[in-house]
Amino acid sequence: MELVHSQLNTSQKRLDVFDWLYAALIVVAAVVAEQQYGQYMDIYEHSILIGSTLGLIALGWFWKSWRWFFPLTGALALAAIALYAGDINQGQSRFFLRYLLSSQSAIMWMCTLFFLAMAVFWAALFSRSAFLEQFATGLTWAASVMGLTGLFVRWDESYLISPDIGHIPVSNLYEVFVLFCLITALMYLYYAERVATRRMGAFVLPIICAAVGFILWYTFDRQAHEIQPLIPALQSWWMKIHVPTNFIGYGAFAIAAMLGIAERLVSRGVLADRLPSADIMEEVMYRAIAVGFLFFTIATILGAMWAADAWGGYWSWDPKETWALIVWLNYAAWLHVRLVKGWRGAVLSWWAIIGLFVTTFAFIGVNMFLSGLHSYGAL
Question: Site for other proteins (CB under 8 A): which residue of 130, 272, 329, 368?
Answer: 329
Query: Out of 46, 220, 272, 368, which residue is the one contacting other proteins (CB under 8 A)?
Result: 220
Give the nearer residue to other proteins in terms of CB position, either 21 or 378: 378
* Interaction of residue 354 with other proteins, rule CB under 8 A: no
**Residue 102 contacts other proteins per CB under 8 A:** yes
Q: Which stretch binds other proteins (CB under 8 A): 27-35, 78-86, 161-169, 182-190?
A: 161-169
Q: Which of 59, 119, 298, 354 binds other proteins (CB under 8 A)?
A: 298
Smallest separation (angstroms) from other proteins to the CB of 288: 12
Question: Which residues 122-151 are close enough to bind other proteins by CB under 8 A?
Answer: none
Using CA atoms, how far residue 338 sits from 215, 286, 341, 350, 352, in Å, is 35, 8, 6, 13, 12
Interaction of residue 1 with other proteins, rule CB under 8 A: yes
Out of 91, 249, 251, 377, the residue judged to bind other proteins by CB under 8 A = 91
Q: Binding to other proteins by residue 92, rule CB under 8 A?
A: yes
**Amino acid at residue number 108:** M
Q: Judged by CB under 8 A, does residue 197 bind other proteins? A: no
- Judged by CB under 8 A, the residue of 25, 59, 168, 337 near other proteins is 337
# chain residues binding other proteins, by CB under 8 A: 75
Binding status of residue 229 toward other proteins by CB under 8 A:
yes
Nearest distance in Å: CB 328, other proteins: 9
Kindly tell me which residue out of 62, 315, 350, 376 binds other proteins, with binding defined by CB under 8 A.
315
Question: For residues 259 and 202, is the Cβ–Cβ distance under 8 A?
Answer: no
From 32, 75, 333, 368, residue interacting with other proteins (rule: CB under 8 A): 333
